[in-house]
Amino acid sequence: MPNKKTLLLCWDFPPNDGIGGRRWAKIAKWLLKSGHEIHVIKSKSKVGNQNSAWLSDVKSDQIHIYEVNTYLPVKWLNSKENKFSDKLKYKFAAIYLTFFSKGTIYDKAIGMERDVVKLASKIIELNKIENVIVTGAPFNLIYYVAKIKLVFPKLFVLADYRDPWLNAVNYGMQNLTAKNKLAEQNKQNLVFETIDVITAPNSILLNEIKGTYTGRNLIKANFVELPHAYDEDDFLNYDILKNDTSHALKIVYAGSVYLGAKSYLEEFINQINKYNCKNEHLVELEIYTDDYKSLHHFQNGAISIKPSVAKEIFKIISEADYVLILLAEHNKDFKTTKFYEFLPFQKPYLYIGSLGEVSKIISEDEMGFVIKDVKNETVSFIESHFSSNLVFKGLSKFKNHTFQKRVELINNLLEKIDA
């Protein structure tokens, strides 16, 4: 029987807002249901924080929360205030972190190694913790846990990469000096050489991560795919509605508009407007995103641009005809959280964006439809919908993608270690 006292380090665990806490809030909930005692180290919520959409999932006396502050220069660097004094603080922070930190200056856990290691060590000793899970970004958090493993070598440690580290297109990784790139490489090399298991949401990302090792020592880590999932509890109160071609066509997009994907979305909107001007049937596109302000000028009677609506999105999806999947070149092979989250509604996915593994899966597994050329194929797709020429067989294997299944995988890893 595996030890089920588990410490989780997740920088933006609820109530912190943002998508960064969703994956492990859900997994923590189901770990708890499977008998784990959960302790969590997170960053202190920022001023003006809007409570996470997943706060209710982790409201339990059996999930023990501990907080660390964000390093002051990092706080200034990530401030979204637009006052003159905040701009000065931003410039100072950027200069200070460039000179006094190793690696990228855009890692939110910079400067907190001593606090994180001290707090985690105390929790491990007092509660006889034997399992530690850490998720990044921020990737310094994973690095700190590798150093904790050196102090407590008998710990089972799992590091979960939600994004690429060394070859990320964000976090400032593409513009590092040779010295700072080497610093990041050395951090990750220690992770590979120390931690027991490294997970990522898909096999392509996992292999990409594995290929970034630059050290010369033995890699200790085993690499295991831990896909995103959906929480079956989220869908208990929603009916699964069948598509009806007699009414207006309703397409819903929910999520971030990724770097490099905006041009596809803009052209898609243009083609919908073009169709609506000439036809009786109306196509409605509803977009729910934190980036809504940058798209607001596209809004009209048929195009709705709104801020994210947390769990209310489930009702909206239940009433949609298609779920829009929009990916850019850098993540065209990665199934995002939303890809799994909406599976139980059995709505056909409509893919636009850079063609890759995700568009291939949607097409080959008959999960929906792929518009390869947005400018020249969108109108014909709409016409096919209204003429009932599109065939969608439904999603037969969606029940394999629950968070309960993911936790079974984690528990199996623990059992192998204990055996």
pLDDT at 18: 77
End-to-end Cα spacing for the chain: 9
- Distance CA(108)–CA(46), nearest Å, equals 12
pLDDT at 239: 55
Q: How many CB atoms lie within 10 A of CB 29?
A: 22
Please name the fold of domain 234-397: Rossmann fold (3.40.50)
Q: Which helix (H) or strand (E) holds 82?
A: none
Q: Which residues of the chain does CATH 3.40.50.2000 include?
A: 5-229+402-418, 234-397
State the helix-helix crossing angle for 178-194 and 139-151, rounded to 10 degrees.
50
Number of alpha carbons in the 13 Å side-chain half-sphere of residue 255: 23
Enter the DSSP assignment of 137. S
- Distance CA(92)–CA(42), nearest Å, equals 26
Number of alpha carbons in the 13 Å side-chain half-sphere of residue 9: 34
Q: What is the mean pLDDT of each run of 10 residues along the chain (419 residues)?
A: 83 86 92 94 82 86 94 87 82 90 93 96 96 95 97 96 88 88 95 96 92 92 93 69 64 89 93 90 90 87 89 88 93 86 87 94 86 95 84 65 91 76
Q: Which superfamily does CATH assign the domain made up of 5-229+402-418 to?
A: Glycogen Phosphorylase B; (3.40.50.2000)
- CB burial of 214-244 (b: ≥16 within 10 Å; e: otherwise) equals eeeeebebebbebbbbbbebbbeeeeeeebe
Structural contact between residues 149 and 194, judged by C-beta atoms closer than 8 angstroms: yes
Q: How far is CA 286 from CA 3, 21, 400, in A?
A: 46, 25, 29
